[in-house]
Amino acid sequence: MQLTKDELIEAYRLMKTIREFEEQVHLEFSAGQIPGFVHLYAGEEACAVGVCTHLSREDSIASTHRGHGHCIAKGVDVHGMMAELFGRKTGLCGGKGGSMHVADLDLGMMGANGIVGGGPPLVCGAALAAKRQGKGNVAVAFVGDGGSNQGTTFESLNLAKIWNLPAIFVVENNGYAEATAASYSVGAESIAERGRGFGLPAVQVDGHDFLAVYEAAGEAIERARRGEGPSLLECRLNRFYGHFEGDAQTYRGEDEVKSLREDQDCLLRLSQEATASGEVDPAEFAAIDSEVEALIKDTVEAAKAAPQPDAEDLLTDVYVSY
């Protein structure tokens, strides 16, 4: 699987967009501008982008509470997303969803999900729909290491297997579920190993390595497109922020985040590799960086200027007569 230079640059742009989006959300949340529960994806960008680069809008993904990265990687509009986080009428969900419920069904983005383990069953359904439609589409469930312990996830692995569904389960093992270490909560040798116990081809990759994720995801997705059934992909990676915005992170090691930022930054790694090999000029990355920064700044400003929902919106989008 070879990436063209344009594809690589596009992947970098998406990863940078996620990073910048999250950094700005972090600031706005700290400033009290964004309400509710917010979980940032910064540090994990290579996974979402490495997987979603293989997908078209006819393919589906279901996400988690930590959903911004998956949305952006799937092509969801960042203005709509930012406005949604601010709860504005112009948000993707009209301000009724917020960070944990960003969705764009038209783009095959089935929603972030406030319920850990909520997505995998839904993805079995999307994969079933894809299979019946017969156009070679696939569906991807993103699951955390914590979510990998939920019964719904296990059931879905088995269902996808026995129905031979074009489903891919991408486990983002960032080492923690809230404050609990994956080494404590996952009894198996690895989550991939557990997947193999269910009869799924399963591999573990370094989730900081965009190219590694890209390649492993490509294989799993191609297998699914060929009608050869589901796979599990365990990406080992790290989150740069706390579980949610506001988390003091005392459960982490001293300097853990600092050293992650220095040594395990998937963006840095991708750009360094690409510039070291001479494939991309550093200036090109720098140009993307400023474009993206401007774009995200604009989303924040636009969101702040956007109108609140109308009072009547409380009663729309649901059957109500009482």
Partner 1 sequence: MARQITFQQAINEALDQEMARDERIVILGEDIVGGAGAPGEIDAWGGVMGVTKGLHGKYGDRLMDTPISESAFVGAAIGAAATGLRPVVELMFNDFMGVCFDQILNQAAKFRYMFGGKAETPVVIRTMIGAGVRAAAQHSQSLYSMFTHVPGLKCVVPSNPYDAKGLLIESIRDNDPVIFFEHKKLYRLEGDVPEESFTVPFGEAEIVREGGDVTIVTLAEMVHESTKAAEILQQEGLECEVIDLRTTSPLDEETILESVENTGRVVVVDEANPRCSMATDIAALVAGAGFSSLKAPVRMVTAPHTPVPFNDSLEDLYKPDANKIVAAVREVSEYQTWKTAASKS
Ligand X SMILES: Cc1ncc(C[n+]2csc(CCOP(=O)(O)OP(=O)(O)O)c2C)c(N)n1
Q: Which two tokens stand for residue 93?
A: 């969900």
What is the spatial distance between Cα 57 and Cα 40, in angstroms, rounded to a whole number?
Answer: 24
CB of 244 to partner 1, least distance (A): 9
Question: How, if at all, do strands 139-144 and 60-62 pair?
Answer: parallel
The pattern of x and - marking residues 171 through 210 that bind Mg ion according to CB under 5 A reads ---x-xx---------------------------------
What is the spatial distance between Cα 36 and Cα 57, in angstroms, rounded to a whole number?
Answer: 29
83/177 with CB nearer ligand X: 177
94/207 with CB nearer ligand X: 207
Provide φ and ψ at 176, rounded to 5°. -140, 145
Q: Which has the closest alpha carbon to 201: 173, 221, 174?
A: 221
162/294 with CB nearer partner 1: 162
What is the spatial distance between Cα 129 and Cα 110, in angstroms, rounded to a whole number?
Answer: 13
CB of 151 to a copy of itself, least distance (A): 2
Stretch that binds Mg ion, among 4-12, 21-29, 56-64, 169-177 (CB under 5 A): 169-177
CB of 291 to Mg ion, least distance (A): 31
Out of 144, 207, 229, 230, point to the residue binding Mg ion (CB under 5 A). 144
Chain-centre distance of CA 92, in angstroms? 17
CB of 64 to Mg ion, least distance (A): 9
CB of 300 to partner 1, least distance (A): 17
What is the spatial distance between Cα 12 and Cα 244, in angstroms, rounded to a whole number?
Answer: 25
Residues that bind Mg ion (CB under 5 A): 144-146, 174, 176-177
